[in-house]
Chain A
Amino acid sequence: MNLDAKIPEGPLAEKWDNHKFRIKLVNPANRRKYRVIVVGSGLAGGSAAATLGELGYNVECFCYQDSPRRAHSIAAQGGINASKNYQNDGDSAYRLFYDTIKGGDYRSREANVYRLAQLSGNIIDQCVAQGVPFAREYGGLLANRSFGGAQVSRTFYARGQTGQQLLLGAYSALSRQIGLGQVKMHNRHEMLDLVLVDGHAKGIVTRNLVNGRIESWSADAVILATGGYSNVFFLSTNAAGCNVTAAFRAYKQGAGFANPCYTQIHPTCIPQAGDHQSKLTLMSESLRNDGRVWVPKKAEDCGKDPRKIAENERDYYLERKYPSFGNLAPRDISSRSAKEACDDGRGVGPGGRGVYLDFTDAISRLGRSTIEERYGNLFEMYERITGENAYERPMRIYPALHYTMGGLWVDYNLQSTIPGCFVLGEANYSDHGANRLGASALMQGLADGYFIIPYTIANYLAEAGAGAPSTEAREFKETESRVEEKLGLLLGINGKRSARSFHMELGKIVWEHCGMGRNAAGLQKALELIPDLKEEFWSNLKVTGKDEELNIELERAGRVADFLEFGELLVRDALDRDESCGGHFREEHQTEEGEAIRNDEKFTNVSVWEYQGEKAPPVKHKEELKFENVSLSVRSYK
């Protein structure tokens, strides 16, 4: 597997400019001879499709939702980082680069991260021009807020729905190109395989979710912008439909999968209420500024009304264990502490999987109206979901999966190990290392789509020459029959269990053994459990309905089948990476205070997995990470 990252020569700050000058262009008159497929219509896919359309390429864009406006980028709340330095507080591209590298625990590529920081300002300009209604100050200038992992105010926001507004911006640009006929949009289509011709990505096979039709689409290049894989855990903050299928099928066709074990957990989510639960909802972490986290000291108090538990019977465990940071301990540490308290039998609420976040002190200190002003919408959302009034009794919170840093390996051009197959946004692994900072996901998605791929794909297209193959070609027909065969297998098992029940069981295994804390014994256990579950899936699955119609169960079954295989890859990678870094916490490697201990000597590299077929385990390759500009240090926020 060729893992040449193609990082341009020259000083860090000049690499992107040098690269843009050296790579090939496609002249305006020739662009219409090329066709590009974009899978996914979120921030990365939507912005890429719109921009390539504007440039004059013929674009075919696909999404599984009923409209490109519904991609899950829409649910991002907090904001988007940019090193504009509008606050005159010492921000710069270099500082944003440094914060991102450090936040990622020194497991990302310097050149990619610097480019991201460089482009961050252009994104804000572009979004403002599209009419994104960012928050403003009274003087009419753009407002900023601060976010975790940074000492400057560089986060731009549109109320608590920044992701929605940025996505609607990209969607409007995309819609304009659809209206002009430059982009053809295919809603309710799911990519089920990638088609390779002479080793190059030249098309995809989709299933039309309305009538079940299997179709081939050919192009000069394929862009995957299909999001992350948090839903392998079944319960996450992702949308119900988010899945790993497109990325995983590309992996099976030869694309390297990088660092699948890098997953991020958010500490302040609303806990699971019961087995009926289908997703978890995130609440802004800002709540921890005024709430105090605690559990009862004695397990027998867990069922009691929290207001009746005396002060000296409560364990404010974050304040006890981390006196200097207290309730504001970093995400990973506070998440793991919550799990420890619950594992100790002192969790509260349904299933004993929750801890209290108590605002009583803050309300008596600041008054209810101040708390209402700061967090009113969050308290409202909490009440909507739990039916409890958090002004009167403590909130219950528990950590949940919400982002995955791993993804398909890409080089500096965002090209995977398959020529012609480019990967953008959360679907690639490139910029966040082992941990992503808040307000950086939106930034990366839009940088990839608006400002990177339009340049780098031109280089590939110019070299490859125009000429998408016919979908009648043997490679397309073979892929189609493989897809149809698999759907037939799923429908033909005719067992007893629903796809959802398998998904739930897989989620429990992965969460238990490969969630917040991981250790060799647990991971090995998961590597035994998952193949057994996979075997049962393929012998006892029940899928109702037929292939040639709208069939929600068949859709689900296909996604769960891929999650089962992918889950194994995730666990394998977590077992192999015998160090703690960022969101990957191996319990064997921690300080006495519970901080992660990296092993830089052995693991300053990217683990890239290559598929070896059904029968053999995947092979690991390494891309060594070279740090020429920052020195590796212990990530400490003390």
Chain B
Amino acid sequence: MKLKLKIWRQKSVEMEGSLVDYQLADVSPDSSFLEMLDLLNEQMISEGEEPVAFDHDCREGICGTCSLTINGIPHGPQKATTTCQLHMRHFRDGETIVIEPFRARPFPVISDLIVDRAAFDGIVQIGGFITARTGSAPDGNAIPISKGVADKSMDAAACIGCGACVAACKNASAMLFVGAKVAHLNLLPQGAAEKDRRVLSMVSQMDRAGFGNCTNFGECSAVCPKEIPLDVIAKMNRDYATASLKNIFSQVG
């Protein structure tokens, strides 16, 4: 395959970036999208140019590192597929492909296609956990959990933290990411003790980090490579409302 590529090049966070045109030939339709970029980079190195920097690691769709916006869609055109699992057979010979970083104010560009998603870690650090000191756990079967609840919790826990949901949202909302973590932990009996604290602190940190509000378009779930359902946002909103009310009454009471 032959391809025309328009790739976002940006030297560093302080500098301006722009789309640069590249031509690439002899791309195997069986190669992955990132292997296509590997080929481009090898070509650029042999010409003494600086290769395109992009984030990637496991290349099997689970680590959540890869993060490209392809023709305007985070992770590209194939449903439920991360960039690293997207293969070139889904593109046409001679096609022009626009490749940009995940764009969102809370995800500043570090270089070329690499963005800083540390804001996600910050939200988890403030409440995305169950306090369970090592060594203090009761037997694993001490608290039975019905299969339905465990399955639902697992559906939410499947989030890979890639940030496509934020990049797809015109408000740069992180509600799907935060909702998934809140739902995963708040659904479980082990997470009940910190349920209110968790949702209140995570939501306020999400706001502080500059993520926007949800306006129910559902773009986040549509691009999510793990198909996290919008229900998790509803669950988070319910838990948030309950926790806030409890707070008000405890202050009054």
A19 to B147 CA separation, bound complex (whole angstroms): 40
B residues near A130, Cβ cutoff 8 Å: 129-130, 132, 190
A28 at interface, CB cutoff 8 A: no
| Beta-carbon contact of A274 and B30 below 8 Å | yes
Residue from the list B56, B134, B147 in contact with A50, Cβ < 8 A: B134
The answer to whether A129 and B136 touch (CB under 8 A), given A179-B125, A498-B46, is yes
B154 at interface, CB cutoff 8 A: yes
B20 at interface, CB cutoff 8 A: no
* Secondary structure dominating the interface of B: loop
A residues near B154, Cβ cutoff 8 Å: 133, 135, 158-159, 165
B-facing residues in A120-176 (Cβ within 8 Å): 121-122, 124-131, 133-142, 158-159, 161, 164-165, 168, 171-173, 175-176
Residue from the list B46, B51, B89, B130 in contact with A172, Cβ < 8 A: B130
A437 to B157 CA separation, bound complex (whole angstroms): 27
Residue in A closest to B134 when the chains form the complex, CB atoms: A51
| Beta-carbon contact of B31 and A274 below 8 Å | yes
A454 to B137 CA separation, bound complex (whole angstroms): 16
| Contact segment of A68-76, A198-206, A506-514, A598-606 | A68-76
| Beta-carbon contact of A131 and B137 below 8 Å | no
Query: A207: shortest Cβ distance to chain B, in Å?
Result: 15
B93 at interface, CB cutoff 8 A: no
**Interface 0/1 of B23-42, CB less than 8 Å to A:** 00001111110111011001
| Beta-carbon contact of A75 and B58 below 8 Å | yes
Query: A375: shortest Cβ distance to chain B, in Å?
Result: 17
B residues near A67, Cβ cutoff 8 Å: 117-118, 120-121, 161
A481 at interface, CB cutoff 8 A: no
| Contact segment of B60-68, B69-77, B165-173, B230-238 | B60-68
| Beta-carbon contact of A500 and B58 below 8 Å | no
| Beta-carbon contact of B64 and A126 below 8 Å | no
A459 at interface, CB cutoff 8 A: no
| Contact segment of A290-298, A335-343, A549-557 | A549-557
A468 to B101 CA separation, bound complex (whole angstroms): 41
| Beta-carbon contact of A179 and B30 below 8 Å | no
A residues near B191, Cβ cutoff 8 Å: 131
Residue from the list A47, A50, A74 in contact with B62, Cβ < 8 A: A74
B209 at interface, CB cutoff 8 A: no
Number of interface residues of A (CB under 8 A): 81
| Beta-carbon contact of B130 and A131 below 8 Å | yes
| Beta-carbon contact of A175 and B125 below 8 Å | yes
A360 at interface, CB cutoff 8 A: no
A277 at interface, CB cutoff 8 A: yes
| Beta-carbon contact of A545 and B50 below 8 Å | yes
**Interface 0/1 of B116-127, CB less than 8 Å to A:** 111011001110
**Interface 0/1 of A277-295, CB less than 8 Å to B:** 1110100000000000000
Query: B193: shortest Cβ distance to chain A, in Å?
Result: 11
B85 at interface, CB cutoff 8 A: yes
Residue in A closest to B155 when the chains form the complex, CB atoms: A133
Most chain-B Cβ atoms within 10 A of its Cβ — which of A50, A140, A165? A140
| Beta-carbon contact of A66 and B63 below 8 Å | no
The answer to whether A500 and B89 touch (CB under 8 A), given A140-B147, A172-B130, A175-B129, is no
| Beta-carbon contact of B114 and A126 below 8 Å | no
A6 at interface, CB cutoff 8 A: no
A201 to B146 CA separation, bound complex (whole angstroms): 48
Residue in B closest to A177 when the chains form the complex, CB atoms: B125
B residues near A161, Cβ cutoff 8 Å: 62, 158
A490 to B14 CA separation, bound complex (whole angstroms): 27
B184 at interface, CB cutoff 8 A: yes
| Beta-carbon contact of B157 and A384 below 8 Å | no
Most chain-B Cβ atoms within 10 A of its Cβ — which of A131, A175, A176, A550? A131
B150 at interface, CB cutoff 8 A: yes
| Beta-carbon contact of A276 and B31 below 8 Å | yes
A residues near B49, Cβ cutoff 8 Å: 544
A552 to B55 CA separation, bound complex (whole angstroms): 10
The answer to whether A133 and B87 touch (CB under 8 A), given A544-B50, A550-B110, is no
A451 at interface, CB cutoff 8 A: yes
Place the interface of chain B in its size category.
35 or more
A387 to B58 CA separation, bound complex (whole angstroms): 20
B residues near A131, Cβ cutoff 8 Å: 129-130, 132, 153, 184-185, 188, 190-191
A139 to B44 CA separation, bound complex (whole angstroms): 59
A-facing residues in B136-180 (Cβ within 8 Å): 136-141, 143-147, 150-151, 153-154, 157-158, 160-161
A185 to B59 CA separation, bound complex (whole angstroms): 24
A23 at interface, CB cutoff 8 A: no
A385 to B28 CA separation, bound complex (whole angstroms): 13
A142 to B143 CA separation, bound complex (whole angstroms): 10
| Beta-carbon contact of B51 and A544 below 8 Å | yes
B81 at interface, CB cutoff 8 A: yes
Residue in B closest to A386 when the chains form the complex, CB atoms: B30
B243 at interface, CB cutoff 8 A: no
A386 to B88 CA separation, bound complex (whole angstroms): 11
| Beta-carbon contact of B129 and A172 below 8 Å | yes
B residues near A529, Cβ cutoff 8 Å: none
B residues near A237, Cβ cutoff 8 Å: 60
| Beta-carbon contact of A86 and B89 below 8 Å | no
| Beta-carbon contact of A276 and B87 below 8 Å | no
A542 to B48 CA separation, bound complex (whole angstroms): 8
B residues near A185, Cβ cutoff 8 Å: 121
A residues near B136, Cβ cutoff 8 Å: 129
B residues near A489, Cβ cutoff 8 Å: none
| Beta-carbon contact of B153 and A133 below 8 Å | yes
A450 at interface, CB cutoff 8 A: yes
A70 to B45 CA separation, bound complex (whole angstroms): 28
A65 at interface, CB cutoff 8 A: yes
B residues near A137, Cβ cutoff 8 Å: 147
Residue in A closest to B162 when the chains form the complex, CB atoms: A70
B residues near A74, Cβ cutoff 8 Å: 58, 62-63
A residues near B62, Cβ cutoff 8 Å: 74-75, 161, 164
Residue in B closest to A128 when the chains form the complex, CB atoms: B140
| Beta-carbon contact of B118 and A187 below 8 Å | yes
Query: A165: shortest Cβ distance to chain B, in Å?
Result: 6
| Beta-carbon contact of B32 and A168 below 8 Å | no
B106 at interface, CB cutoff 8 A: no
| Beta-carbon contact of B45 and A553 below 8 Å | yes
A136 to B146 CA separation, bound complex (whole angstroms): 7
| Beta-carbon contact of B56 and A384 below 8 Å | no
Query: A552: shortest Cβ distance to chain B, in Å?
Result: 5
A608 to B190 CA separation, bound complex (whole angstroms): 45
B98 at interface, CB cutoff 8 A: no
| Beta-carbon contact of A171 and B124 below 8 Å | yes
B residues near A84, Cβ cutoff 8 Å: 140
**Interface 0/1 of A536-549, CB less than 8 Å to B:** 00000010110001
A176 to B138 CA separation, bound complex (whole angstroms): 20
B212 at interface, CB cutoff 8 A: no
Partner-A contacts on B (CB < 8 A): 11-12, 27-32, 34-36, 38-39, 42, 44-46, 48-51, 53, 55-60, 62-65, 81, 85, 87, 89, 110-111, 114, 116-118, 120-121, 124-126, 128-141, 143-147, 150-151, 153-154, 157-158, 160-161, 184-185, 188, 190-191
Provide a sorted-by-A list of 13 A–B residue pairs whose CB atoms are within 8 angstroms: A47-B134, A65-B63, A65-B65, A72-B58, A75-B60, A125-B140, A178-B121, A239-B57, A273-B31, A274-B31, A384-B87, A385-B87, A549-B11
Partner-B contacts on A (CB < 8 A): 47, 50-51, 54, 65-70, 72, 74-75, 84, 86, 121-122, 124-131, 133-142, 158-159, 161, 164-165, 168, 171-173, 175-176, 178-179, 185, 187, 210, 237, 239-241, 273-274, 276-279, 281, 350, 384-387, 450-451, 454, 496, 498, 500-501, 542, 544-545, 549-550, 552-553
- Closest A-B pairs by Cβ, 7 of them: A140-B144, A179-B125, A129-B137, A172-B129, A129-B132, A133-B154, A125-B137
